[in-house]
């Protein structure tokens, strides 16, 4: 780019002229300093450098961190990672060398940022998020971001989003709301993980997690208090019934008592809620992750018990009946992934019963094509949004629009491999998601999100609205 092209791109010639004229009008004693200060205010910041590194996530597995620089300063972002199949989601680029971090190193993704992405973005205005994200998508040239890596692209996308907010001198959630196209100030209902199961714990509980949703709170601060108090009462209940070893926690902070049935888990959670006195103010949610124990068209709820596995399969119809019975006996507000990711028929039939919110996670993979199909077939009525599955801020906002237009609920979600980056908290507020799933009310990488929501609520003051009973709207 020539000097004149650079001046033309950023309209600097006109801004320099305006600064000189302003200095003349002001009759300043130090015109050079006056012009310099005037230009700092008039000239928009541009991306000047992008630098990435490999760090470790909450599981000790490598992930990508980015420092993006503009004239305003340095803006950092890091990306989470999960265990989902990459069949329908954007691809995390990992090195694959089993001798280094068991094949999980991300030095290739880091190199792509430091060389290819940096070169493409330097000089761009950080406030134009869609153009920044599109530039990286065009550079990658693959549908699932296989060339550069979704982990590389997303880290830069989030860092650029922070830089854009700083350039506009607004909070991050307000900048994201501008990208979304609507002004929102809704604090989401947190879905706190309190018991962990599935493949993320050593107990026999087949489902991935049991959650509590404090829908009856008046504000987010109160919801966090309810979640924390219930969590600690549950710890006491578990200690009494299963011993202290039952209070070990899973990857997202949920307790892992030696329970084998869903009902047993619900019973101790309900007892803990009863001890808090909140009762009707707290609902229960369940993350089934049924794909983990689906074999063909059957479901093996005993898959974690070697002596029982394979002896008592359930059909899709059996699973529907089980969920119906559970919804009758417990205050269940939400069920996530009740069936296998390819079991569209039973998902559709169960969703049609209208018993609770039916969330698509593995079913959807935050993939626009899968979301569109689920909307058309009424296979679920809520989106679990994992931004690392789609790869850019702009695309994440677009799938939220798809879900909202279909009158779906939206749950902005963490991953099992998390960092202390709190971006999803601002995202949830900005798009008015109404729900956020960030793990238990413990562990630093989980609390980073919840504590950020506290700050946002305080900043909004009287304008803050907690989703509460309207959590799905």
Active site residues: 252, 386
Measured CA to CA, the distance from residue 432 to residue 450 in angstroms comes to 16
Helix (H) or strand (E) holding 466: strand 465-466
- 379's tokens: 């296979």
Measured CA to CA, the distance from residue 22 to residue 37 in angstroms comes to 11
Measured CA to CA, the distance from residue 229 to residue 313 in angstroms comes to 37
DSSP 434: E
In 21-155, the DSSP E strands lie at 47-56, 62-70, 73-78
Backbone angles phi, psi at 164, to 5 degrees: -65, -40
- Write down the residue that tokens 């028929």 correspond to: 345
Written in H, E and C, the secondary structure of 327-342 is: HHHCCEEEEECCCCCC
Between the CA of residue 248 and those of 133, 265, 330, 359, 405, what are the distances in Å? 41, 15, 25, 27, 41
Evaluate the CA torsion angle 314, 315, 318, 324 in order and state its sign. Answer: positive
DSSP string, 152-169: HHHHHHHHHHHHHHHHHT
Measured CA to CA, the distance from residue 119 to residue 138 in angstroms comes to 13
Nearest Cα neighbor of 129 from 356, 331, 397 is 397
Between the CA of residue 120 and those of 50, 124, 391, 417, what are the distances in Å? 10, 9, 17, 29
Nearest Cα neighbor of 163 from 267, 275, 76 is 76
Measured CA to CA, the distance from residue 445 to residue 65 in angstroms comes to 15
- Per DSSP, helices labelled H in 46-125 are 107-112, 118-121
Burial 401-421 (b: 16+ CB within 10 A, else e): ebbbebebbbbbbbbbbbbeb
> What is the CB-side half-sphere exposure of residue 471 using CA atoms within 13 A?
28
- Asked if residue 318 belongs to a known ligand binding site, the reply is yes
Measured CA to CA, the distance from residue 262 to residue 433 in angstroms comes to 28
DSSP 417: B
Measured CA to CA, the distance from residue 461 to residue 442 in angstroms comes to 25
Nearest Cα neighbor of 409 from 333, 348, 473 is 473
Residues tagged in the binding site annotation for Mg(2+): 318, 336, 361
Residues tagged in the binding site annotation: 318, 336, 361
């Amino acid at each position: 780019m020539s000097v004149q092209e650079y001046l033309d791109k950023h309209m600097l010639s006109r801004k320099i002229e305006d600064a000189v004229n302003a200095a003349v009008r002001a009759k300043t004693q130090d015109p050079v300093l006056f012009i310099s200060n005037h230009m700092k205010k008039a000239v928009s910041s541009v991306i000047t450098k992008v630098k990435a590194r490999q760090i470790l996530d909450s599981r000790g597995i490598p992930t990508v961190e980015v420092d993006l620089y503009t004239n305003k300063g340095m803006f950092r972002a890091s990306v989470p990672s999960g265990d989902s199949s990459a069949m329908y989601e954007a691809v995390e680029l990992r090195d694959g060398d089993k001798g280094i971090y068991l094949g999980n190193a991300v030095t290739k993704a880091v190199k792509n940022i430091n060389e290819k992405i940096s070169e493409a973005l330097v000089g761009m205005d950080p406030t134009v998020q869609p153009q920044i994200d599109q530039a990286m998508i065009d550079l990658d040239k693959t549908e699932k971001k296989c060339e550069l890596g979704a982990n590389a692209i997303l880290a830069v996308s989030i860092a650029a989003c922070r830089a854009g907010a700083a350039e506009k001198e607004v909070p991050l959630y307000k900048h994201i709301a501008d990208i979304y196209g609507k002004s929102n100030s809704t604090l989401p209902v947190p879905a706190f993980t309190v018991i962990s199961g599935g493949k993320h714990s050593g107990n026999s509980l087949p489902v991935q997690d049991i959650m509590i949703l404090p829908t009856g709170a008046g504000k987010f601060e109160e919801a966090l208090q309810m979640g924390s108090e219930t969590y600690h009462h549950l710890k006491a209940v578990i200690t009494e019934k299963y011993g202290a070893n039952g209070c070990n926690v899973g990857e997202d902070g949920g307790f892992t008592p030696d329970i084998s049935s869903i009902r047993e888990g619900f019973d101790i959670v309900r007892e803990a809620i009863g001890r808090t006195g909140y009762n009707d103010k707290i609902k229960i949610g369940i993350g089934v992750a049924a794909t983990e124990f689906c074999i063909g068209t059957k479901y093996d709820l005993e898959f974690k018990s070697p002596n029982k596995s394979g002896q008592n399969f359930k059909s899709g119809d059996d699973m529907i009946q089980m969920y119906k019975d559970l919804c009758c006996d417990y205050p269940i507000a939400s069920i996530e992934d009740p069936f296998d990711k390819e079991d569209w028929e039973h998902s559709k039939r169960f969703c049609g019963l209208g018993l609770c919110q039916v969330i698509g996670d593995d079913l959807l993979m935050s993939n626009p094509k899968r979301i569109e199909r689920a909307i058309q077939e009424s296979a679920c009525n809520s989106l679990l949004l994992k931004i690392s599955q789609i790869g850019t801020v702009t695309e994440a906002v677009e799938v939220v629009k798809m879900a909202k237009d279909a009158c779906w609920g939206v749950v902005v979600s963490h991953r099992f491999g998390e960092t202390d980056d709190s971006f999803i908290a601002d995202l949830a507020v900005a798009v008015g998601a109404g729900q956020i799933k960030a793990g238990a009310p413990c562990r630093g990488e989980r609390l980073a999100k919840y504590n950020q929501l506290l700050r946002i609520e305080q900043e909004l003051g009287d304008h803050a609205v907690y989703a509460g009973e309207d959590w799905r709207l």
